[in-house]
Amino acid sequence: MKSPREPDKEEEPPGQRPADEHIQLKVPVIQQLYHWDCGLACARMVLQYLNQLSEEEFQTALEDLHLSKSIWTIDLAYLMYHFGVKHKLCTQTLGVDKGYKNQSFYRKHFDTEEDRVNQLFAQAKACGVLVEKCTVTVQDLQQHLARGHIAIVLVNAVLLLCDLCSRPVKYCCFLPIGQKCFCRSPDYQGHFIVLCGYNKSSGSIFYNNPAYADRTCRTSISNFEEARQSYGTDEDVLFIYVDS
């Protein structure tokens, strides 16, 4: 297990380096295998982008961290630490929001997961996992991308759109082919994506959706903000730094 260097505050002075007008990073697209492993697929994209993906080592890491079918953003932060990847998890809730117990998306695993997830947050600092309660703006994300860094973002799949997908799949692009599309449900559905670019003039955000293996998706900044700030996401953003 490597020890990631903490992100240098001097490296990212707020407002001192305006983001370029257009950035689209070449982040590999890796498709999720099941309806529950979008976060792990995003982690694989990150590690491949950093040239650190070994499937054997990845599987060993999942076993070491006891990761199964319930993946939270804090799990992905621990996974990044395991591989020595410099990271920072920004969230609105340092633990589990008890209000999620009443949401259908969280209800099934809430009772068994609440203590586990709260413990991960409580031990994060001692374990070298970087977590901060803070608000992230689109400008923060654009500046991060402009430096060649990427981010894993938790969104509400019900709200997130793609301007590039054809109409029949535009609202149904978050499950592997052949499975029922949960996007038609009005309830919150958590989904991880990898943020990989933007275009300021068109007001667009580019992201890799692990439901696909052959495309990068695009949506408006306003739609992206609506999806990532939806109740249920905690506005989780896992910043990944290339100089790990």
> Hey, how many other C-beta atoms are within 10 angstroms of the C-beta on 209?
26
d(CA 206, CA 215): 10
CATH topology of domain 28-240: Cathepsin B; Chain A (3.90.70)
Note whether 145 and 23 are within 8 A (CB).
yes
pLDDT confidence band for 244 (50 / 70 / 90): low
d(CA 88, CA 238): 6
pTM score, two decimals? 0.84
Note whether 153 and 147 are within 8 A (CB).
no
Boundaries of every domain in the chain: 28-240
Using one digit for the tens of pLDDT, what is the confidence trace for 27-56? 999 999 988 899 999 999 999 999 999 999
